[in-house]
A and B are shown apart, each in its own frame.
Chain A
């Protein structure tokens, strides 16, 4: 059974600081997804990582994937308040049928 773990579960940080969210998973997979969820809203796709070594960047967020370590990171650079949200990673099963989600990281960026 594929298990996906994120840490930290909660992150409070000051504006302007850098931090990294980690996503570990238990079985082999080459594809990983990051989503953002604002309070009371649905999930918005951020990044799709489709191979070992993949790196994607959008604004202050950068995601990477190491399939050998079964690890993805979401790095936040010079955080701003607008980045406050819950971030989920999700791993695709090998059959390409579905995603298993991590528990989410609730990020709060304080002015």
Chain B
């Protein structure tokens, strides 16, 4: 597609429920990144996918968070048993091969856990 697409744009969920956030990167971009941005804060790295390599999961804050990328394209970030501190905007970005080509960010998913 023309840009990085994320869905849903907004998600309100009850504490303890599981949620899935979707990212559809730019066609041909082999690198895909998930970041989290809490209210008024900077960006916190979560996970990075590059081609068919094993993902870099070093930023995932707990084992309730997981992500997968199917067919080297669409990625899903799953948060299990959501907590109120998970409330944030989750941003996805993609890049052609490596970050040196620059990131293109999606518009984000605003997650609110009530």
CB <8 Å contact, B102 and A42: no
Q: Which residues of B contact A98 (CB under 8 A)?
A: 33, 45, 48, 56, 99
Q: Which residues of B contact A101 (CB under 8 A)?
A: 35, 42-43
- Which chain A residue lies CB-closest to B103? A99
Stretch binding the partner chain, chosen from B13-21, B79-87, B104-112:
B104-112
A99 to B35 CA separation, bound complex (whole angstroms): 10
Query: In the assembly, what is the distance between CA of A43 and CA of B104, in Å?
Result: 8
- Binary interface profile of A, 26-62, with partner B (CB < 8 Å = 1, else 0)? 0000010100000001111100101000000000000
The answer to whether A92 has its CB under 8 Å from any CB of chain B is yes
Q: Give the contacting residue for A97; candidates B35, B42, B99, B105; CB below 8 A.
A: B99
B28 → chain A closest CB, angstroms:
18
Total contacting residues, chain B, CB less than 8 A: 20
- Interface residues of chain A, those whose CB is within 8 Å of chain B, are 31, 33, 41-45, 48, 50, 88, 90, 92, 96-104
CB pairs A–B below 8 angstroms (23 shown): A31-B99, A31-B100, A42-B91, A42-B105, A42-B106, A42-B108, A43-B43, A43-B103, A44-B105, A45-B103, A92-B99, A96-B98, A97-B48, A97-B50, A97-B56, A97-B98, A98-B45, A98-B48, A98-B99, A99-B33, A99-B45, A100-B45, A103-B42
